[in-house]
Amino acid sequence: MKKNASLLVLLIALCLSFGAEAQIDQLIPKPVKVVPGTGSFSLSPQVQIVAPANKELAETASLFADQLFAVTGKRLKIVRQAQKGVRSIQFGLNKATDPLLGTEGYSLTVKPNLISVSANKPAGIFYGIQSIVQMLPAKSAIRQLMVVPAVQITDYPRFGWRGLMLDVSRHFFSKEFVKKYIDQMVKYKYNVFHWHLTDDPGWRIEIKKYPRLTEVGAWRVARTGPWGSYPPPQPGEAATDGGFYTQQDIREIVKYADDRFVTIVPEIDVPGHSMALNVAYPELSCSGTQYSMYPGSNGGMGENVICAGSDRSFEVLDDIFAELAELFPGKFIHAGGDEVDKTFWKKCAKCQKRMKDNGLKDEHELQSYFMKRVEKILSSKGKKMIGWDEILEGGLAPGAAVMSWRGPEGGIAAAKLGHEVVMSPLQFCYLDYQQSDMSIERTGGGYVKLSDTYKFEPVPEGVDPKFVLGGQGNVWTEFIHTPGRAEYMTWPRAFALAEILWSPKAPRDFTSFVKRVEAQFPKFDLAAVNYSGGIYDPHLKSVKNQDGNVQLLFEKEMPDIQVRYTFDSTYPDFYSNRYLDKSIDIPNGASEIKAVTYRKGKAIGRLLSARISDLKK
């Protein structure tokens, strides 16, 4: 029996060793240089983590031990010096700076008896660790026999700003979820968390000098269903939906992110998208009218723009940004500046006087005046302002950076003026947009598939790369009510952005990339993190042929799946019509089309069901 058990263990170990080689090809983002070695490193309980007497490295080693425990079920011992005869995972900072690696790059060597990670700075060690964790199998028959393939990796990022934005104004998410979200980001080498803390439907951060911002502005009446279709607040109806982060919560999350080498960029959105601010303090609006909090109702929300003609507006913003600057140690504060409804300013005597007194020819220049004053406020706090690309309208504040969202044009214009830019164009980077066929998801917003996101290039043609800080994906939450849905909309498209922002610019192979994406799904299952399987769904398009007749086409993102479809309202099984990669004529009398994707004879995607009348429209 003992001999058979030993043989079983040996066979499993050999299988794991062979399988480990495939783990190298599953890394996201793809490293700069990979040289496979021979053999593998077995992650047994006797392995030690060796971290020198450095505070940051000690914290990073502890986080690494936690990550390994989550995967292997074993907690490895952390020591300061390697012990003879004991296999170890060793961290070391370079005595002489390697200019190739910069501040976030790393060198990783895996041999059968040793794993070593070296870098110029602790951040590089941290990112090397993430590559080790990614190369572990999602699970093992015998957890102690998990192995890391022998390899030599040299890796460093293309961009310094690799971000994801989470909107917590439309729907509030707990601090525990924010931490979990950051945990997933760093596994794929993201380093910026853009936190959209205020907007029309909710103010989410405690400001001690203005308590009504959270007493009133953090709460609205409860509504469920499609955003924008809700009935307005009713007289006497209690505002019970919402929440906010105390300043202690903020400090806790900032520290949590900093330990993982993530910088948080907070956003206070002004002068538009300020309904919550105006409801809490009506004197900051042009009319001073008291409105109810906006819950996503159909129709107008009320006055959501701060008065640009009142000095009180800038006094309050100075106080707010002073508290914000104390809470967030990063270089940037995002001040919004997007989608300002200037009709309120056109009707406001104070705003019109401001324009006349300052020689401003229109409300676009008034917005520029407003944002330039905000930029001076932030500069006085030692911060740099970044705003959405509308801050270009009427003239850009001298020290401002621009986040380009309506397309690349804003970023191009700002870079040509010598300003730093973060590229986040909606056609690639809006992760709240539907990622599967609209007949499947039906959640509103736009449409951005994984393959669309993978086409993103942060440096437009003709732009000097030195002005492009990087890029980010944005998760707006009008149509996202729950933490699980926020994860679902983020992943796997955030894998594509992670690779684009870290890996060298090179011809990208989407077929190879989606195989690496699939390898992440079992790990997300084990970590209880949601994700979309939209890459397996069929995508339907209607086109007109040369005779003016409507025909149908299917698109698919996975190369090895088949589309099966029906026109007779029956569920499409593996024996239904197979799509042959050419346009389909619609049979006379057909009222709907249904389709499902199959792989190796088994259904893998979700059911698509579309009415022919809608397709013809």
- Catalytic, 547? Answer no
CA nearest 605: which of 593, 597, 594? 597
CA 344 to CA 288: how far, in whole Å? 12
Give the pair of three-digit tokens for residue 359.
Answer: 């020689």
Q: Is 183 an annotated catalytic residue?
A: no
Whole-Å CA distances, 340 to 107, 272, 317, 375: 47, 4, 17, 17
């405690």: which residue's tokens?
Answer: 206
The Cα 284–Cα 291 span in angstroms is 12
Q: How far is the C-alpha of 615 from the C-alpha of 91, rounded, in Å? A: 58
Report how far residue 471's alpha carbon sits from residue 494's, in angstroms, rounded to the nearest whole number.
11
Where b means 16+ CB within 10 Å and e means fewer, 52-71 reads eebebbbbbbebbbebbeeb
3-state secondary structure of 76: coil
| H-helix or E-strand spanning residue 364 | helix 363-380
φ/ψ of residue 52, rounded to 5: -65, 170
Give Cα 153 distance to the centre of its chain: 26
**Cα distance between residue 172 and residue 578, in whole Å:** 44
Q: Could you tell me which of 2, 12, 1 has the C-alpha nearest to residue 144?
A: 12
| Tokens 């060597």 -> residue | 109
The CA–CA distances, whole Å, from 141 to 6, 13, 70, 147, 149 equal: 14, 10, 15, 12, 17
The one catalytic residue in 194, 273, 334, 419 is 273
The answer to whether the CB of 487 falls within 8 A of the CB of 529 is: yes
Distance CA 223, CA 168 (A): 16
CA distance 396 to 502: 29
Sign of the C-alpha dihedral computed for residues 409, 412, 416 and 420 taken in this order:
positive
Hey, which residues does 609 pair with through a beta bridge?
A: 594
Displacement of CA 210 from its chain's centroid (Å): 30
CA distance 182 to 179: 5
Burial of 395 (0-12, 13-18, 19+ CB in 10 A): middle
Is 461 one of the annotated active-site residues of the chain? no
Instruction: Give the residue among 161, 126, 130, 160 at the shortest CA–CA distance from 261.
Output: 126
Question: Which member of 215, 326, 339, 509 is catalytic?
Answer: 339
Q: Is 353 exposed, middle or buried (0-12, 13-18, 19+ CB in 10 A)?
A: exposed
| Cβ atoms within 10 Å of 509's Cβ, excluding its own | 11
Q: In the 8-state DSSP scheme, what is residue 558?
A: S
8 Å CB contact between 120 and 95: no
- Pair 307, 272: CB distance under 8 Å: no
**φ, ψ for residue 408, nearest 5 deg:** -80, -10
The residue annotated as part of the active site, out of 155, 167, 199, 389, is 199
Q: Catalytic residue numbers?
A: 199, 273, 339
